[in-house]
């Protein structure tokens, strides 16, 4: 089910379910926040009961900051992730010029220094076509232009610096 950071239209928004999905889980020490793509694409692709409003970059920054603050207040490490490429997706209405602009603004903020995360991983760069960086590279594309295949999932996983997940500081053995 496609979910979003800010909107409850299709499933509960991440901001309203973070307690249940993350904070109430025993033993969690680190959280990777990889969200925002459906916030940008679904307003143009689905109308329930009328077209949803596309969030601004400021809306997503505010939501991501609130989410990071809630996770930090629980004593957890929070790692942000850039919003991946999706130009040329097969889903009508999903890819819009305005959405791409918001994606670029949010990613620039995430890759800067004025964000609330303990670290940020650039998953967009990991799967982007070097010649067309708003598209998933062909050898990582599942075929729909929105989701990565197994090679893309590995590329995403490889972007995570495992030292960010050093669990020894939380009393949990790290292999």
CATH code of the domain covering residue 149? 3.40.50.1110
In a domain, 49, yes or no: yes
In a domain, 172, yes or no: no
In a domain, 76, yes or no: yes
In a domain, 122, yes or no: yes
- Spell out a b/e string for 90-121, using b for 16 or more CB atoms within 10 Å of the CB, else e: eeeebbeeebeebbeebbebbeeeebebbbbb
In a domain, 160, yes or no: yes
In a domain, 1, yes or no: no
Domain count, the chain: 1
151: containing domain: 14-166
In a domain, 6, yes or no: no
Rounded to whole angstroms, how far apart are CA atoms 37 and 32? 15
Cα–Cα separations (whole angstroms), residue 124 to 82, 117, 136, 155: 6, 17, 8, 10
pLDDT value of residue 8: 76
In a domain, 39, yes or no: yes
The DSSP result for 118-133, as a single string, is: SEEE-HHHHHEETTEE
CA count, 13 A, side-chain hemisphere, 66 = 15
Segments of the chain scoring below 50 in pLDDT? 1, 168, 171-175
> Residue 8: what are its φ and ψ, rounded to 5°?
-95, 10
> Residue 57: what are its φ and ψ, rounded to 5°?
-60, -40
Rounded to whole angstroms, how far apart are CA atoms 68 and 70? 5
pLDDT value of residue 89: 94
Of 109, 108, 96, which is closest to residue 41 (Cα–Cα)? 96
pLDDT value of residue 173: 43
């Amino acid at each position: 089910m496609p979910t979003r950071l800010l909107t409850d239209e299709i499933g509960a928004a991440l901001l309203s379910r973070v307690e249940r999905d993350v904070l109430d889980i025993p033993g969690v020490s680190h959280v990777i926040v990889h969200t925002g793509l459906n916030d940008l694409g679904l307003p143009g692709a689905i109308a329930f009961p009328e077209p949803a409003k596309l969030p601004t970059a400021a809306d997503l920054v505010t939501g991501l900051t609130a989410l990071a603050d809630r996770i930090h207040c629980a004593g957890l490490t929070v790692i942000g992730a850039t919003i991946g490429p999706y130009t040329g997706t097969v889903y009508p209405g999903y890819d819009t010029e305005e959405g791409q602009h918001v994606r670029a603004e949010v990613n620039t903020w995430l890759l800067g220094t004025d964000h609330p995360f303990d670290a940020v991983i650039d998953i967009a760069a990991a799967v982007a076509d070097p010649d067309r960086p708003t598209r998933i590279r062909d050898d990582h594309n599942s075929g729909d232009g929105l989701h990565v295949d197994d090679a893309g999932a590995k590329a995403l996983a490889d972007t995570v610096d495992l030292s960010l997940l050093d669990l020894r500081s939380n009393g949990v053995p790290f292999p």
